[in-house]
Amino acid sequence: MDISSFKESSAEMAMNYTSREEEKKAFLNSKAGVKGLTDSGVARLPKIFVRPTDELADEVKMCKTNIQVPVIDLSAIEEGDTREKVVTELGRASEEWGLFQVVNHGIPLKVLQGMIDGIRSFHEQDSETKKQWYSYDWKRSVRFHSNFDLYEAKSSNWRDTMTISMLVSNQIDPDEIPVLCRATSVECIKHVRSLGNTLFELLSEALGLKRGHLNGLECDGGCSFACHYYPACPEPELTLGASKHTDPTFLTVLLQDHIGGLQVMYENQWVDVHPLSGGLVVNIGDFLQILSNDKFKSAYHRVVPKLAGPRISVAYLCAGVFTKTYGPLKELLSEESPPIYKDFLVSDYIAKFFAKALDKSALDNFKL
């Protein structure tokens, strides 16, 4: 995309503030999300989705790279030498990247594919039926929405989300999950929560702690499944599927389909996270960066949209106990390594996250 295209886009965005607000209001009131726009046959992006000209210009300047994200094989992790190797690899990836992929993790491919198919069915059902789950109340157990930061963000993201949340209660009645994806979701939740426990054990060891340390802190005590749907985009070069952000979690485990679009920031470059058959993406969240006192890195990541689609992804978000206070681990502190962050209440952090634009980090609010 050249600079003349930026000028054209800028001219298209030259509207008064009221009309932009009216466009946001109309999008919100439709309760149909981005898929509703594609179903209506839009051939150009509505202006609320077009990124600011300076952001688009920065994309042209940014270096391209073919570097590969670390891939870690979790097979045979109970064997001494193999486990030590995996712990070392996982620790290095968590420090240098904040994100990696895992393979041979024990979750059957049919379970992962079933989750993808179920979420596709939910998002592609009749719009009027889907509206019964439409809500921006992040404390609801199941909700469907699009762009929780619609009025805070500089531009909207080209995606819809159905969230299955156990953040407050740490459990959910299966009957609350939409029937189109109920069975597949229940099965996948069981498997992914077990993998989460294994990853927290490995991460504990990578920090030099006992195997059960992070699980003992109930880092997986409150979790959510964010089930994203990214329709094919008519002008993908002008928008994002998900803006640059870090996660308000200890750990996120992501299942993505074959289309791709996920990128992670590494050494000031956006690196593609190519889908692997049966592979899962794992990224360190803000809370684990705080607990590790900056030893582990909460990874900035984003999603670029595609002409092809839809893209489906499901993020398992481990946020700890909603009413519990966490802070830098005393075992990792010393005179040479004093605490960088103050203690925080999970509910306070989550509330701050949802009160801001997605691309604004909440970490700085908790630095000493």
What pLDDT digit, counting tens, does each position of 47-56 carry?
Answer: 999 999 998 9
> Which of 18-32, 67-81, 257-271 has the weakest average pLDDT?
18-32
Instruction: Give the integer Cα–Cα distance in Å for 303 and 306.
Output: 10
- DSSP 8-state class, residue 51: P
CATH of domain 3-366: 2.60.120.330
Average pLDDT over residues 193-206: 97
Instruction: Give the integer Cα–Cα distance in Å for 116 and 124.
Output: 12
Long-range contacts of 334-341 (CB under 8 A, 24+ apart): 337/293, 339/293, 339/368, 340/290, 340/293, 340/294, 340/367, 340/368, 341/290, 341/293, 341/366, 341/367, 341/368
Q: What is the pLDDT of residues 122-136, one digit of tens each?
A: 999 999 999 999 998
Domain-by-domain residue ranges, the chain?
Answer: 3-366
> Which of 32-36, 62-66, 95-99, 116-120 has the weakest average pLDDT?
62-66
Q: What is the pLDDT of residues 229-278, one digit of tens each?
A: 999 999 999 999 999 999 999 999 999 999 999 999 999 899 999 999 99
Task: With beta carbons less than 8 A apart as the criterion, state whether 121 and 181 touch.
Answer: yes
Instruction: Give how far the C-alpha of residue 228 lies from the chain's centroid of Cα atoms, to the nearest Å.
Output: 9
Q: Which residues contact 109 (CB under 8 A, 6 or more apart)?
A: 277, 278
Q: What is the pLDDT of residue 109?
A: 97
The dihedrals phi and psi of 302, each to the nearest 5 degrees, come to -155, 175
Average pLDDT over residues 284-310: 96
Instruction: Give the integer Cα–Cα distance in Å for 221 and 238.
Output: 38
Closest to 290 measured CA to CA, from 256, 331, 339: 339
Q: What is the pLDDT of residue 139?
A: 81
Taking CA 345 as the corner, what is the angle to CA 339 and CA 346, rounded to the nearest 5 degrees?
A: 110
H/E stretch holding 270 reads: strand 269-272
Helix (H, G, I), strand (E, B) or coil at 200: helix
Helix (H, G, I), strand (E, B) or coil at 4: helix
Q: What is the pLDDT of residue 63?
A: 65
Q: What is the pLDDT of residues 202-214, one digit of tens each?
A: 999 999 999 999 9
What is the rounded average pLDDT for all residues in the chain? 91
Is the pTM higher than 0.85? The answer reads: yes
Task: With beta carbons less than 8 A apart as the criterion, state whether 198 and 180 touch.
Answer: no
